[in-house]
């Protein structure tokens, strides 16, 4: 146990992960940066950089054994190297976004102010402030105004007599906008955290709690006075609230508002991460309401934007594009029932998981594994389905993904049944039931289904179809239940039962339903 945890800690070493995230151009930039420092080309920090760059797995014994640095000096040398890499990255033109440019102007103005060159400092601050306001960077704009106020107390400009009054009003307005944005972003984050930890609301008590929590923390605002940033956080707060209460049509409405906000303000380049997340919310909401045509059109648009490089590409957006694009490509095959056509995605996803494993959260990895398992289940390749489900079931770090663990085990049970692994079915059932009870997450749908599956082992072969019909009737009434329907979001149990009743592959059943949704 200790060996595993030590290895995980080592792989998460901040410096090692940072070095492994560098692109070829960023490494070249760092080499040039070190060369410009003069006399440092043979410095220990650069030797450590070259050594870590080649190292496959982080290991402090190997590093200290290289002779580059002693064990006592390693911590300080790593900290120095980390700082130098960040300085180099900041100088890299690829990272020169508007926010960094504004900060740079603010830094220059601060230096001029400290030298007593007030007029020059104010000129730079005015330029930086206008850039900040044009790009909805109101937090930085507020900082700039505060520095302008400080300078005005020492250098009163004669050209504008009401300058101090203007700055005071501007500071107050910016402060009010920032307070609203902060309250809305806090609410959005708190709702998202609640969703991760607790999943969708499961009963009236939870629904009341979430609704009251949402309304009590929603700040008062005048919609027409809100800027881009405040509207974005407002929509996102509504979005997480709608996901929590499982009102997916409302989720679609606010996800669409988020995407339209970017399109109307032409701010994709400044906030590519928020834009990517908004596109993903829109696709997810379309998937959850099973609007096949909108989902497909939005996915095509998304892929076109990526291919045409309309979304700025860096190591962060590259990772998000992978997660969102391939997750939704799988969703398309689930909606259309074209599971076999999606099998090519498995190798691509596994290759990219290997590529990004140092930066990819374990939750996203197992989520992709679950979707691959569902793909194989839809194809009738149940042993491969089980292989991917086992990766999830054996995962020890999924505290915030209880729903995923629950349904991975239920699908695992069904896949074992489909494989004819009856000798293992009783043990699988007991393990699954124990797990669900321990998680205190046993829904009525799960309870009914598990008990029905267990009883199948005592049913004669000629009665099996009739038994499936009984189970289907029991579960069908939960399909649109406000709190039980979430079970069907993770696992299409009804389509599986219909496939058993009608003696058709599950893919055929889903294709038939897909045609109805497309009409």
Specify if 431 maps to a domain: no
E runs forming strands in 16-118: none
- The confidence score (pLDDT) of residue 296 equals 94
Specify if 468 maps to a domain: no
Instruction: Kindly state whether residues 217 and 142 are assigned to the same domain.
Output: no
Specify if 170 maps to a domain: no
- The confidence score (pLDDT) of residue 358 equals 78
d(CA 511, CA 518): 10
d(CA 125, CA 108): 9
Lowest mean pLDDT among 63-67, 129-133, 249-253: 63-67
pLDDT greater than 50 at residue 488: yes
> What band does 64 get if pLDDT is binned at 50, 70 and 90?
confident
The whole-number average pLDDT for the span 163-191 is: 91
Q: DSSP state, 93?
A: G
> What band does 269 get if pLDDT is binned at 50, 70 and 90?
confident
The whole-number average pLDDT for the span 312-321 is: 89
Count the alpha carbons within 13 Å of 249 in the hemisphere toward its beta carbon: 0
Instruction: Kindly state whether residues 107 and 91 are assigned to the same domain.
Output: no
Contacts of 68 (CB under 8 A, 6+ apart): 44, 47, 48, 51
pLDDT greater than 90 at residue 350: yes
Specify if 67 maps to a domain: yes
Specify if 236 maps to a domain: yes
> What band does 41 get if pLDDT is binned at 50, 70 and 90?
low
Highest average pLDDT, of 192-196, 440-444, 449-453, comes from 192-196
- The confidence score (pLDDT) of residue 155 equals 66
> What band does 330 get if pLDDT is binned at 50, 70 and 90?
very high
Lowest mean pLDDT among 116-125, 241-250, 427-436: 427-436
More confident residue, 433 or 47: 47
- The confidence score (pLDDT) of residue 9 equals 44
More confident residue, 19 or 197: 19
Tens-digit pLDDT profile for residues 196-237: 777 788 889 999 999 999 999 999 999 998 999 999 999 999
d(CA 370, CA 337): 17
The whole-number average pLDDT for the span 432-457 is: 72
Contacts of 240 (CB under 8 A, 6+ apart): 188, 191, 192, 194, 195
Instruction: Kindly state whether residues 102 and 91 are assigned to the same domain.
Output: no
Specify if 144 maps to a domain: yes
> What band does 164 get if pLDDT is binned at 50, 70 and 90?
confident
The whole-number average pLDDT for the span 25-38 is: 84
Name the domain count of the chain.
3
> What band does 191 get if pLDDT is binned at 50, 70 and 90?
very high
Structural contact between residues 349 and 326, judged by C-beta atoms closer than 8 angstroms: yes
pLDDT above 70 covers a percentage of the chain that reads 88
What domain range is 47 assigned to? Answer: 2-95
Instruction: Kindly state whether residues 8 and 74 are assigned to the same domain.
Output: yes
Per-residue CA distances from 381 to 168, 195, 324, 415 (Å): 68, 32, 25, 9
Tens-digit pLDDT profile for residues 278-310: 999 999 999 988 888 999 999 999 999 999 999
Specify if 15 maps to a domain: yes
Specify if 39 maps to a domain: yes
């Amino acid at each position: 146990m200790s060996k595993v945890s030590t290895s995980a800690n080592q792989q998460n070493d901040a410096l090692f992960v940072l070095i492994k995230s560098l692109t070829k151009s960023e490494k070249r930039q760092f080499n040039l940066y070190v060369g410009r420092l003069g006399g440092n080309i043979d410095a220990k920090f650069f030797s450590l950089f070259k050594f870590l760059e080649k190292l496959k797995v982080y290991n402090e014994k190997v590093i200290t054994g290289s002779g580059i640095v002693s064990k006592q000096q390693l911590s300080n040398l790593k900290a120095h190297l980390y700082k130098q890499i960040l300085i180099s990255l900041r100088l890299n033109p690829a990272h020169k976004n508007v926010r960094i440019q504004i900060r740079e102007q603010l830094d220059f103005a601060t230096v001029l102010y400290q030298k007593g060159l007030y007029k020059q400092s104010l000129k730079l601050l005015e330029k930086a402030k206008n850039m900040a306001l044009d790009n909805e960077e109101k937090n930085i704009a507020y900082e700039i105004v505060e520095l302008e106020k400080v300078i005005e107390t020492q250098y009163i400009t004669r050209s504008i007599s009401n300058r101090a009054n203007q700055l005071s009003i501007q500071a107050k307005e910016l402060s009010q906008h920032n307070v609203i944005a902060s309250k809305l972003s806090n609410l959005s984050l708190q709702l998202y955290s609640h969703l991760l930890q607790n999943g969708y609301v499961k009963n009236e008590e939870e629904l009341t709690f979430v609704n009251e929590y949402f309304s009590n923390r929603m700040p008062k605002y005048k919609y027409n006075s809100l800027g881009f940033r405040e509207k974005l956080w407002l929509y996102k707060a509504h979005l997480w609230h709608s996901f929590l209460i499982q009102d997916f049509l409302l989720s679609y409405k606010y996800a669409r508002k988020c995407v339209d906000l970017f399109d109307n303000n032409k701010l994709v380049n400044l906030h590519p991460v928020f834009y990517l997340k908004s596109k993903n919310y829109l696709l997810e909401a379309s998937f959850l309401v099973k609007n096949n045509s909108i989902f497909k059109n939005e996915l095509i648009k998304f892929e076109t934007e990526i291919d045409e490089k309309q979304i700025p590409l860096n190591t962060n957006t590259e990772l998000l594009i992978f997660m969102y694009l391939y997750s939704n490509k799988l969703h398309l095959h689930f909606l259309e029932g074209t599971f076999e056509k999606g099998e090519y995605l498995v190798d691509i996803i596994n290759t990219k998981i290997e590529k990004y494993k140092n930066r990819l959260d374990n939750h996203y990895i197992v989520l992709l594994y679950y979707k691959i398992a569902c793909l194989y289940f839809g194809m009738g390749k149940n042993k491969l389905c089980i292989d991917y489900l086992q990766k999830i079931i054996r995962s020890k770090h999924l505290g915030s993904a209880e729903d995923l663990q629950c349904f991975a085990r239920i699908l695992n049970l069904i896949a074992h049944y489909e494989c004819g692994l009856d000798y293992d079915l009783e043990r699988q059932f007991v393990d699954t039931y124990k797990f669900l009870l321990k998680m205190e997450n046993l829904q009525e749908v799960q309870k009914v289904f598990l008990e029905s599956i267990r009883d199948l082992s005592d049913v004669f072969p000629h009665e099996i179809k009739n038994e499936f019909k009984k189970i289907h009737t029991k579960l069908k009434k939960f399909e649109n239940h406000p709190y039980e329907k979430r079970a069907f979001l993770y696992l299409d149990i009804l389509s599986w039962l219909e496939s058993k009743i009608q003696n058709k592959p599950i893919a055929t059943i889903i294709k038939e339903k897909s045609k109805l949704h497309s009409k």
